[in-house]
Amino acid sequence: MKAYQRDKRATDPEHAQRQRDLCKAWRRGEKLDPIGNARPADERFDDFLMPEPNTGCLLFTGSQFLTGYGSFKVDGKTIYAHRFAYWRRWKVIPKPEIHHTCHNPACCNPEHLQAVTREEHEAIHACE
């Protein structure tokens, strides 16, 4: 523990109590929000969308995987941004893969996303 952290804990009893409460909650398996004011995933997701006027794509400007697909955290789990966009629009992901009809991995426009099976997805990419 760094010196400034020890000093804060020693001089701020509310800080020390908050730390103890977080540790107890963690041991009980509760989801932790250390800041106490986390915004809903929908609001956070919208902050990362930027419209592309030429193609109609909604580009995800947040974190990305090395493959170019957006990376978004929901309930402590990192998921593909385009899967969240599809789920947010249709409230279900009926098939295991989502195909970008625009061929842009950063796109999160639900109108450019199509749920397909793995075989269908491979067939689509084989024809390109």
Average pLDDT, the chain: 83
Tell me what the mean pLDDT of segment 53-79 comes to. Answer: 93
Cα distance between residue 15 and residue 60, in whole Å: 36
Give the angle subtended at the CA of 77 by the CAs of 82 and 94, to the nearest 5°: 45
What are the tens digits of pLDDT across the range 20-57? Answer: 777 777 677 666 655 555 788 899 999 999 999 999 99
Looking at residue 18, what is its pLDDT?
A: 75
Q: Please tell me the distance from the alpha carbon of residue 48 to that of residue 90, in angstroms, as a whole number.
A: 20
Domain boundaries in the chain?
Answer: 1-37, 41-127
pLDDT value at residue 39? 81
pLDDT at residue 20 in the model:
75
Which CATH fold topology does 41-127 show? Homing Intron 3 (I-Ppo) Encoded Endonuclease; Chain A (3.90.75)
Beta-strand pair 97-100/113-116: antiparallel
